[in-house]
Each structure stands twice: as structure tokens, then as C-alpha cells.
A and B are shown apart, each in its own frame.
Chain A
Amino acid sequence: QKEVEQDPGPLSVPEGAIVSLNCTYSNSAFQYFMWYRQYSRKGPELLMYTYSSGNKEDGRFTAQVDKSSKYISLFIRDSQPSDSATYLCATFQGGSEKLVFGKGTKLTVNP
């Protein structure tokens, strides 16, 4: 079983929609989770990170961790065409510095 699983999509939504991007992880020892945004042919940029359980909000973005179900989510409110990108979830393999990623979800926000 992969450490992090992510639905690759693609996901297409109209401008202004609320977007929900999700990942599941396998090891309950994972505590630190990150979301990256990657535009085509560019390096990923860190969007948000969360530690342990709970929510973290930054502008239109909310990252959520549910440790009981091993589920992490990124919500985008009032989505914009500029949000069109691939979104990657990531975590550190428990007990090591090995940083592992989901496969990424490609999002298109249509004007």
C-alpha cells in the first residue's frame, strides 16, 4: 500500500465553486502534512502545511486533517481560473526524513 493515495482527477469546476481535494494516508504515525500547487512545467510551490489534526485556514484555502480516518483535505473557496494547476499532498514517512507525495490532482477552473 502506498503511503499516500490521491485521486488524480482530472477535476473541472466553474469559477466561484468550492473545490475539495483529498488524500488518504496509510500510517497513523504520520503527523505533518503538506499541500503543494504545481503549474505546468514548473516546480511545486508549498501552499499549506498542517500538523496533526484539525483545520488550518489561509485566505481562500483550508487544509484539514482527520487522523481517525487518515484523511487529509484541501478546500478552495471562490475558486479562480488562476487556481488551475495540479495539487499534490505530501507527508514525511514516519520516523524518517523521507518525503512522500500523492500522485497529484489536476484542477481546471473554468471562467
Chain B
Amino acid sequence: DGGITQSPKYLFRKEGQNVTLSCEQNLNHDAMYWYRQDPGQGLRLIYYSQIVNDFQKGDIAEGYSVSREKKESFPLTVTSAQKNPTAFYLCASGYTGVETEAFFGQGTRLTVV
């Protein structure tokens, strides 16, 4: 089945630790996105990538890093520099060149303990 897979579904992290969230898609999409969702805040864009080995900062990139070494994969690292990392993280993908819809994974809920 084609789709976007985020793992893990739930993640716990100790303060001061880096953690990496996985996002894989087999839809042959060029564009991939990472969003953070907090109650009452909607979806805020962290990073996005339109092509392999290239990515752009979104609105709240501080404390996060990404890589795009493969078309199918766009992992997000939440670093210890992120002051308030507890949130619901969503990955999405879509085609580029023609504005079109994006599809989401089921999300990873990160909790700092």
C-alpha cells in the first residue's frame, strides 16, 4: 500500500537528549514537510524539502534539524536546543512543480520527561 509512515507513534525523551523522528513515503513524491501541532496553534511548518539534498526552514526551525538523503525519507531531529519539544509532529508529502494536495502520516507524539 502506498502512503506515508511515521515512526514511532509515541516517543519519550529525557531533557537534554536529541531524538530523531522517522518519516518514509512510497508515493514517489518530491516534496516533504514537517509540522508541529500544539493545542490551539494549528499546524506550524518546521522544515520542508522539494528535492533530495535540499531543504528550507519553515516558520519554527530553531532547535530542529533535517536531512534529505533519499527521496523516500525525511527524518527530523529534535535537538536539546528546542526549548519546548513536547508536541504532536506530523510529516507530509506531495508533488512539486504543480501545486497539489499533500498527504499526511499519522503523526508522532513526543513527550519530554
Contact = CB atoms under 8 A, between A and B. Distances in A.
Given A42-B106, A44-B104, A97-B50, A32 B99 contact: yes
A34 B31 contact: no
Contacts of A103: 40-42
Interface size class of B (residues with CB under 8 A): 20 to 34
Interface string A26-60: 00000110101000011111100100000000000
Interface in B42-72: 42-43, 45, 48, 50, 56, 58
B103 A101 contact: no
A100 interface: yes
Interface string A72-96: 0000000000000000101010000
Interface of A: 6, 8, 31-32, 34, 36, 41-46, 49, 88, 90, 92, 97-104
Interface of B: 4, 6, 31, 33, 35, 40-43, 45, 48, 50, 56, 58, 88, 90, 92, 94, 96, 99-107, 109
